[in-house]
A = this chain, B = another copy of it.
Amino acid sequence: MATYKAPLRDMQFVLHELLDAEKVLSTLSGYEEVSKDVLDQYLEASAQFCENEIAPLNRAADEEGCHWDNGVVTTPKGFKEAYKQFCELGFPSLDCDPAYGGQGMPKTLGFPSMEMLVSANVAWSMYPGLSHGAYSAIHAHGEQWMKDLYLPKIVDGTWSGTMCLTEPHCGTDLGLLKSKAEANGDGTFNITGTKIFISAGEHDLTDNIVHLVLARLPDSPKDIKGISLFLVPKFIPDASGKPGVRNGVSCGSIEHKMGIKANATAVLNFDGAKGWLVGEVNKGMACMFTMMNAARLGCGMQGLGLGESAYQNAVAYAKDRVQMRSLSGTKRADLPADPIIVHPDVRRMLLTGKAYTEAGRAFSTWLAMQLDIEERSTDEAIRQDAADLVALLTPIAKAFMTDNGFVVTNQAMQVYGGHGFIREWGMEQYVRDCRISQIYEGTNTIQALDLIGRKVLLDQGQKLRKFTKIVHKFCEAQAQDAQMKEFVEPLQKLMKDVGDVTMHIGMQAMMNKDEAGAAAVDYLRLVGHLVFGYFWAWMVSVALGKMESGDKKFYQAKVHTARFYFQRLMPETAALLQTLRSGSKNLMDLEEDSFIF
Residues on A lying within 8 angstroms of B by beta carbon are: 7, 9-10, 166, 170-173, 175-176, 196-197, 255-259, 312, 315, 319, 323-324, 326-328, 336-337, 339, 341, 343-348, 350-351, 354, 410, 413-414, 417-418, 420-424, 428, 431-432, 435-436, 438-440, 443-445, 448-449, 512-514, 516-518, 520-521, 553-554, 556-557, 560-561, 563-564, 567-568, 571-575, 577-579, 582, 584, 586-597
Contact = CB atoms under 8 A, between A and B. Distances in A.
Given A514-B326, A568-B579, A596-B315, A176 B257 contact: no
Contacts of A418: 166, 171, 196-197, 439-440
A170 B517 contact: no
Given A171-B323, A344-B518, A560-B594, 11 more contacts: A171-B417, A172-B324, A343-B517, A344-B587, A345-B520, A345-B521, A413-B435, A414-B443, A421-B435, A556-B594, A568-B579
Copies in the complex: 2
A557 B594 contact: yes
B594 A582 contact: no
Contacts of A258: 421-423, 428, 431-432
A567 B582 CA distance: 6
Nearest to A566: B586
A194 B440 CA distance: 44
Main DSSP-derived SS at the A contact region: helix
Given A345-B520, A590-B351, A596-B315, A176 B582 contact: no
Interface centre among A315, A324, A350, A577 (most CB of B within 10 A): A324
B590 A557 contact: yes
A442 to B, nearest CB: 10
Contacts of A421: 257-259, 435-436, 439
A58 to B, nearest CB: 16
Contact of A584 (B344, B440, B596): B344
A327 B197 contact: no
Nearest to A327: B513
Contacts of A561: 590
Contacts of A513: 327-328
A436 B347 CA distance: 21
Contact of A417 (B172, B518, B592, B597): B172
Nearest to A512: B328
B417 A439 contact: yes
Nearest to A325: B173
Given A323-B173, A516-B327, A574-B575, A589 B567 contact: no
Contacts of A563: 586, 589
Contacts of A578: 567, 571, 574
A590 B424 contact: no
B567 A579 contact: yes
Nearest to A166: B418
Nearest to A429: B258
A597 B423 contact: no
A572 B431 CA distance: 24
Nearest to A515: B344
A308 to B, nearest CB: 10
21 contacts: A326-B514, A344-B514, A344-B584, A345-B448, A345-B518, A347-B590, A351-B586, A410-B435, A414-B443, A553-B593, A553-B597, A554-B594, A554-B597, A557-B595, A557-B597, A561-B590, A564-B587, A564-B590, A567-B578, A568-B587, A574-B575
